[in-house]
Each structure stands twice: as C-alpha cells, then as structure tokens.
Chain A
C-alpha cells in the first residue's frame, strides 16, 4: 500500500529539462496601467508547469502546518515595525506575500491542461482540452534571447494572439496556457497591453512538483469563474461587508470608477459573449 503510494508520487513527479523565465505585462484594472510580473515555466517533453516563484515558495511552505507557521513568522518579521512603547505597524508590501495565484499544468499525454487560480475571493481550478488552441503558422521571424523564432497566430478565448516560437527547443509549451506549437514559445502578445516574453532559459533538472494543497481548490467552469470574478471586482466592498460584517474601502474602488471592462482588461474576454 505504502509502496504503491510512493510509486504514484514517483510517477507524478517528473524531472524538468528546462527552466524558462517570462516577463508578463498586462493591463491592470486597479489603476489602468500596464504592470509587469515574473513567471517561470518548468518543462520536459511531456509536461509543463507555469508558476510564480514567490507563490510556489509560499505555497510549498504553507502546505505543512510547521511551514505555515514559519511563513507567518517570516512575513511578520519583514512587515512588522515595532514602535517604542509597544505599538506595531504592519506594511504587507515589505514582505514576501503571495500575490499571483495562477498555476498552469499542461500534460501532453493527458491532452489537457489544468488551470489553478483565485477567481474573486475563491480559489478554483478547471481543465481544458489542449486542442482548444489552434495555430496558423506565419512567415515572420525574429530573434529572442539568441533564438531564431517564427511567428504563429491564434484566435483564442476572445483575443487574437501572435506567438513567437523556436524549433531549436522542441517542446510544445509556452507561457500561461500557450501550447501546441512545434517548439517552445518565447513570446506571445495580444495588442501592446498583454505581452509574455522570455527573459531567461536554463537547463534544469528540478522536479515538476504537483500542485500544493489541491484540496483547497474547487472545480469550476472557466466562463462562470471569470464572470464571478468580474462580479466580485465590481462589488468587493459589499461582498466583504456581507461576509465579515465590517466595512472596507479600497483605494481603487471609488464610486466614480467605471465598471470592470472585460474587453480591455481580461486575458479571456470570451466569457462575455453569451
């Protein structure tokens, strides 16, 4: 029985071939500016995992009770300022606090990807068949990080994306949910407000560990989850007030602020189509 469990773990944990880092620039609703963040992709011939380093570190610590305690201590130590006379102030911006909730696990043998994230105030996941993304290969070429890349385009979930992939790295993966080209995708963009671009490539034999604490995530439907998120963004004060009974105000939620505009801010605005 125990051996069996160990075998399952051994199968689930594959070693990666490469580690790629991506800079992600996306238009942000909170202050209508393009913000950048850094993501990583661990991949081998069969599967890939797309994640944020800090979130992975934070989630791996939180997956055990001792680790969660340790994480709290680290965050407290960094964010808390002790005032003489006993007062304390907390500034969460100072510490290693998880901000990015997205993980994408793509598996070629299973023909699907699993997307984990936080939609509004609830954590959830959904599966997506890989053939939902169909590419048309173009003629343009460019060089990214020293690799000769070729263009390809796809209409995917409400946006037209242009991707740049290199056949020098024969892995059918890319940043976020991008997959299915005959080479690693080093850049993908949909107008100038959404750009994924590789900033580093390294050989790596890190374990592609499965999702930490998967039991915390509920199964969801993609379009429903995105619609829920939009509702949450537009009504956060009321939702929090209903939930906790206390009043909260967000800086970016003034009454005169326009409602969330999926066509402008969402990576997948197709949930509005119905």
Chain B
C-alpha cells in the first residue's frame, strides 16, 4: 500500500532523442536529471530506439541535460514538461580540451635511445636544432656541435643515411622540427659494419627519423625578411631557402641562406668530423678582428653573409655515392678600441689603439665520396677539394697608426682511400692510402708612418700516408697490427720588409721540413660481456730532413695508451683512460728568420728540433634512466706536458718579438666537467645543470726570467624550459663563470661573468604567437667593478594558413650600442670597448611546403 503510494508519487521522465533536421534516432546519448541545485539525481543513456526513461520523486525546478559526442548539449527545463519529451540535438563539434596523449618522451630499445620530437618541441621552435637543445643528454654548443653524454657524436644520419658527413649543421639549422618524428641516439655506434663485434666504439651517433609526410617527397621552406637597423644604420635582410628529398635510393638537401642581421652561418658550414689535415699548415700572418666572449653573434656581428650548399646521395646495391658542394661568403666589419697592458717587472707597458677593419672570406669546397659499407667489406674513397680566400683590411689609430691588409688564400686537395675486408668471420685486413696537398701563400701589407711594407710567405706541403692493417679475434681478444709509412714534403719561404734596425735577427727564411716515418701500431682489445679493454702500443721511427738549415734528425717515438670501459647494465657506463707519449714539435715553428704576424708582432722560430712528452689520465662516467628522463655525465682529466723549449716575449720599442728558447717548460692541467639533465613531464619541458673546473699551471720564460703562472677557471650553469600552460612556453638560463690568473705566486683578483636569459612565448590562440626575451650580462672588468648590460627582444608572429607565417621582430629594444670587457692572456691584459648591433626591426614571411 505504502510502496504503491510512493510509486504513484514518482514522475516518469521519458522521451526520445533525435537528430535535428533528419529526425534520426540517437542511441547512446547521455541523459542526466539535475535538481534545482544542479546536483545529478538520475542518469542514463538512450536505447537503440533513442528512448530513455528516468524515475524522479519530483521535477520542480529540475532540468534534463542531453548530450552526445559530436552534438551540441541540450538542457531542458522540466517544469510543465509533457512526457514523452522529444529532444532534438544539433550536430556540432564537441569542444574537446585536448591534452596531447603523449607517446613516451624518451624510449630505449637495445643500444638506441629514442626521443619523441613532438613532446620536446615548443611553439617558438623552428628547426630540429632548436628542439635538440631541449633534450636531456644531448648538448648543442653555440657553434652547432652536438654532444651526447659529454662526448662528440661520431655520425649524423638522416633516415639511416650519412648524407652530410660532419656538416650536419645544414640539417640541424634547416630541417623543420615538424618533419621529424624522433631523434634516435645510437650508443656505442660502430659506423663501419665490418668492424661490428670486433672493435669497440664509445661514441654515439644521431639518426633523424622523419615523419611519413616528409619521406619520399620534396619538402621546401623559404623565409624572406627585411627591415631597418639603428646600428649599423641602414637596411637589413634575412633570407633562407631549404629543400630536402629523402627517397629510398636518393637523398638531397639544398640550402641557401643570407643575412646581414648578425646571424653567424658558420654553424651551417663547419665540418665537425674533420680530421686535422696531414699537411699541417698554419697561417703565420694573424691579423684578426677581435672577438667578444660570452655575447652571441647576433649582438656583435656586423656581417653580410651568404651560403649555398647542395648535398646529394645516390644508393645502388650496398654502395652509395655522395657529393657535397658548398660555397660561402662572409663579410665582417668590426670596430674596437683596445688598451693592452704588458706586465713587466720594471713597469707595465701600455699600448692604446683603435682598430677598425673588414674581413672578406670566400670558401668553396667539394667533397665526393664513394662508399660500400657491408658486413664483410668496406670501401671508401673520399676526394676533397677546398679553396678558401680570406682578405682582411684593418686600420689602427693609436701609438702606432697604420693600416694592414692580409691576403690569406688556402688551396687544398686530398684523396683518401680505405678498404677493409673481413674474412673467416674474425679476420680483418685494412688498406689505406691518403694523399694531400696544400698551399697557403700569405701576404701582409702594412702602411705605417708613410712607409709601405709588404711581406710574402709562401708555404706548400704534400703529405702521403700508406698503411696496411691486419686484425683477428679469438675468444673475445682482438689482436691488431697496423703498419705503414708517412711521407711529408714542405717548403716555406719568407722575406721581411724593411724594419727599424733595433730589431735583431734574420729577415729571410728558406725552409724545408721533410720527414719519412715508418710506424707500427700493435693493438690489443679484450671484450667480454661488460668490459672492454684496449691497449694500443704505437711505435714509430722518423727521419727528419731540413735541407741543411738545421741538422737532420732520426727519432723514435713510442706512445702507449690503455683504456677500460665498464658497462654493467643499460644505465651506467664508466671509462678509464691513461697514456704516455712523445711527439715531435710543430714543424711550422722551425724557421731561423723573423716573420711578421701583424704590424707590431714578429715571430722568430727555433733553429732546434725539439720533442715534447706528455702523460694523461682521465676517468669518465655516464648514467641514464630513460623512463625517468634522467641523464648525467662527468669527466676528470689530469695531464702533464713537458716541452724543452718555451716561448718568450721581448719588447723592442713598440714591437713585440716572440721567440723560442731552450728551457724546461712543464705544464700541468686539471679539468673536471659534469652535467645532469632531467625531463619535466608536467610541463613538457626539461632542465639541466652543468659545471666545469679547469686549472692550468705552466712555466714561461720572459725577459730572461722564469715566470710561473696558474690560471684557474670554473663555471656553473643551469637551464630550465617548458610549457606549463597551453598559452605559455618559457625558458630560463643562467651561466656563472669565474677566472683568476696568478703569476709567480701573486694572484690577480677573481673575475666573474654572469649571463641570465629569460624567454617567454605567449600563445593567446592558435594563430598568434608573441615572444619576449631578456638577456642580462654582468661582467667584472676589474675586482668588484661590474659592467651590466640588459638586452630586450620581442617577436610577434601570425599564422596565415597552414603554409604561411608572417612575423615582425624587434631586437635590442633598448638600443644598447657598446660593450666593454677585459681579458687576460699569459703576460698581458687587454681591455676592449666594442660596439654592438643596435636596435633592429625585421619583418619576415615564411612559406612551407
């Protein structure tokens, strides 16, 4: 009876849900009864016929919510409603506040660590290089060089192909991060397949995995900008064109870049894997525009730069052919006022000068490679040609007013051939032939005190290196023997112009420095499950001939080294390394006569042949926990070098003469570095802390007196970046460095530099993006004398459709036009007032395919 009454009191809220317009019934729609306070009292879903039925004790003030994905939500007031209801839902996109479903940001599979690019990229990033900087464990230096866990990478691949060799800056600065799915780091990467399982590698390689949309097609993007700069006053431009094709049997990257906005293009033009050339020439003439520490090129570089690079790769069978052709032009202008103080015992000597100059650099290079990289054989032939043309004009006012011009062309051609054959599984035979030729004619012209001086230095070298090696493996021990011959022919001629008579020494050089070296390198590698031990025992015999300028020499060199790597699991790796060695001096220092390096510096070489010896020990570790996104590495190194000669410096009037004298010069260096990085998943970001310490002790011979100097340097830095909210992405970076020089026990003050950088990017909606950034530099010029500089920049961009972006940027808003600093070299201090790039307004348009 009671329950019947209660049942009578219940109201049956029934109805049907249909699509507006078509009248089609909607099954599975959510229906919610809310009371007058908005609290959910009953709920359900519509059945296959679109009907629902909910019981309620009363419906006074109640509402019914009806919703379904892809339809607009309807709320119906139930006061005075008649049942069954007929509710029409209007089709509409349900607004979903999307929060990216993240793939793991970092994954590990075997020896490969894979970073998901989308989960590290921030809205303001453009190239893949911008995103690489945010990945913990990966470090990108200002010049574009990539390190993984503190070690330089040994290969840079795009979809598994080594298209660019060491000039991977073209790719990191050019490839749009949106075209890259993942960055893979391959640890312990042995680039030569034929050596896999035989020779250990402690280096890592990077591979860019492209998204499908960027594969098997050409992708392009271009960027054109123009504007106005307050200093240097006038028009500025910035343009870029980038094209890439990644096909199964063909790859091409072509880039063209030009600007005069202070962007240094050398990062796109440096071969980070380049070995030192066997020809070993160096420029005697050194007329350089002064550089600025701890300030980016965008603040200081008064440039006009142009770069074009085209790189192609064709695959056929197991082989591939690559052609890399680059041309770059760079014009850099620089103005500086300098005060140089030479520390002498009687009294310090001060030279003031104002310098203004322009440097034009052209560089044309071509590299042609054929490579076959198979499991049993490896063949590589690389032909390299390079023409550099460097012309510097420098005008100096001050105690010795003058103008200098230096022409420093460099012509180089080299071919290297390498063949490795593996047979019987564990036996290896290698043949290698390297031939290089280089010529560096150097001309220095000086107009000083109404006199015109001209010095010409000609320097040519030919280097050849033929070697054969055999290696075999038994029970985890690889025994290898490499033997070969190196030949070197070099001739150098120079003649000094007329100089004041007080300068002592010969004015002409006719020097030949030739050698023939026979060498053998036995190598023992022991490789068990978790430990690799490598012992290398290179021994060589060399005959040096100097064409009677100085006596011929016969030398024997032995430089054994031992390294030990321990990798107990996936996470930790530790390496110990030690070596002792003996090596010949730099042959370029052998010249009896004086050579002028700039208008007031002369160098006298030695008339002696010297050998130096060195010892070093180092320990390094790396640790990673990819699931937690933690990467850490550290290194300590101690080295000793013993050189039986030392450079000394003499002043003759306004001239400085450097020469070498017999003296025991022992130096000792200690270096420690460490870095730890971590992903910050809550804001799709990452952070990093790093530090370094360096102490260098050396003995020097000046004005016939021994000077011992100790320089100490340490730095700590940290950075953090991420996107805590959808509408904001931010980054903060701080670097603090301190250095000190002590001479004969008397210490100078510690001098510090500090840089703070803050970037904020606001994303009010999908189309607009506004970045504000501030940089603060604090430099200690002398003890407790600080120079602060604050730079503010801003950039506003608008996305006009999928392929077009418009942007306006204003850099150095405060129009700070000068920057001062002091640096110390071993026996002098150098104070500089340097002009900066002023305020700059740039409008640009970016197009993408």
Contact = CB atoms under 8 A, between A and B. Distances in A.
B619 interface: no
Given A150-B40, A170-B69, A109 B109 contact: no
Given A82-B196, A172-B45, A167 B65 contact: yes
Interface stretch (B98-106, B333-341, B748-756): B98-106
B676 interface: no
Given A20-B101, A108-B45, A202-B101, A84 B198 contact: yes
A21 B104 CA distance: 11
A182 B110 CA distance: 44
Interface string B72-97: 01000000000000000000001011
A94 B109 contact: yes
Interface in B123-182: none
B43 A45 contact: no
A170 B99 contact: no
B65 A45 contact: no
Contacts of A182: 30-32, 40, 43-44
A147 interface: yes
B565 interface: no
B109 A199 contact: no
Contacts of A202: 96, 98-101
A96 B109 contact: yes
A1 B227 CA distance: 70
B704 interface: no
- The B contact surface, by secondary structure, is loop
Contacts of A91: 570
B403 to A, nearest CB: 63
A169 to B, nearest CB: 7
Nearest to B37: A139
Contacts of A172: 30, 45
B32 A167 contact: yes
A53 B112 CA distance: 20
Interface string B51-77: 000000000000001011110010000
Contacts of A139: 39
A45 B96 contact: no
Contact of B476 (A83, A95, A96): A83
B96 A169 contact: yes
B473 A145 contact: no
B48 interface: yes
B714 to A, nearest CB: 38
Interface string A166-190: 0111111000000001110000000
Interface in B2-34: 27-32
Given A89-B529, A167-B32, A172-B30, A84 B101 contact: no
Contacts of B474: 85
A264 interface: no
Contacts of B475: 85
Nearest to A152: B40
B196 A46 contact: no
B99 A17 contact: no
Contacts of A85: 426, 473-476
Given A167-B30, A182-B43, A201-B99, A109 B48 contact: yes
A40 interface: yes
Contacts of A86: 425
A199 B102 contact: yes
A40 B65 CA distance: 28
Contacts of B527: 83-84
A114 to B, nearest CB: 18
A257 interface: no
A84 B110 contact: no
B108 interface: yes
A200 B102 contact: yes
A137 to B, nearest CB: 5
A77 B30 contact: no
A203 B98 contact: yes
A258 interface: no
Most buried by B among A19, A53, A145, A201: A201
A246 to B, nearest CB: 23
B528 interface: yes
A84 B48 CA distance: 66
Nearest to A198: B99
Interface string B475-502: 1111000000000000000000000000
A91 B196 CA distance: 19
Contacts of A17: 69-70
Given A201-B98, A201-B101, A84 B476 contact: yes
Interface in B760-804: none
Most buried by A among B94, B98, B103, B196: B98
Contacts of A252: none
Nearest to B47: A109
B28 A46 contact: yes
B40 A200 contact: no
Contact of A18 (B67, B68, B96): B96
B475 to A, nearest CB: 5
Contacts of A168: 97
B197 interface: yes
Nearest to B474: A85
B147 to A, nearest CB: 24
Nearest to B66: A170
A65 interface: no
Contacts of A183: 30
B30 A95 contact: no
B570 A94 contact: yes
A201 B44 CA distance: 23
Contacts of A40: 101
A145 B476 contact: no
Contacts of B425: 86
Interface string A76-88: 0111011111110
A81 to B, nearest CB: 8
A108 B28 CA distance: 8
Most buried by A among B45, B527, B528, B570: B45
Given A182-B30, A201-B101, A170 B68 contact: yes
Given A84-B426, A167-B65, A146 B197 contact: no
Contacts of B40: 137, 150, 167, 182
A94 B476 contact: no
B34 to A, nearest CB: 10
B341 to A, nearest CB: 59
A93 interface: yes
A170 B30 contact: yes
A235 to B, nearest CB: 31
Contacts of B31: 182
B644 to A, nearest CB: 42
Contacts of B112: 78
Most buried by B among A83, A84, A94: A84
A162 interface: no
A108 B528 CA distance: 58
A19 B98 CA distance: 10
Most buried by B among A17, A137, A170: A170
Nearest to B28: A45
Contacts of A199: 99, 101-102
A171 B48 CA distance: 16
Given A46-B27, A53-B103, A91-B570, 20 more contacts: A17-B70, A78-B109, A83-B529, A84-B477, A84-B478, A85-B426, A85-B473, A85-B474, A96-B109, A137-B39, A167-B40, A170-B29, A170-B30, A170-B67, A170-B73, A172-B45, A181-B43, A201-B96, A201-B99, A203-B96
Interface of A: 17-21, 38, 40, 44-46, 53, 77-79, 81-87, 89, 91, 93-96, 108-109, 137, 139, 145-147, 150, 167-172, 181-183, 199-203
15 contacts: A19-B101, A38-B104, A45-B27, A83-B528, A83-B529, A84-B426, A85-B473, A85-B474, A86-B425, A94-B110, A167-B67, A170-B30, A170-B73, A201-B96, A201-B97
Rank and list the top 7 A-B pairs by shortest CB-CB distance, nearest first.
A200-B101, A170-B30, A78-B110, A182-B43, A45-B28, A170-B67, A21-B101
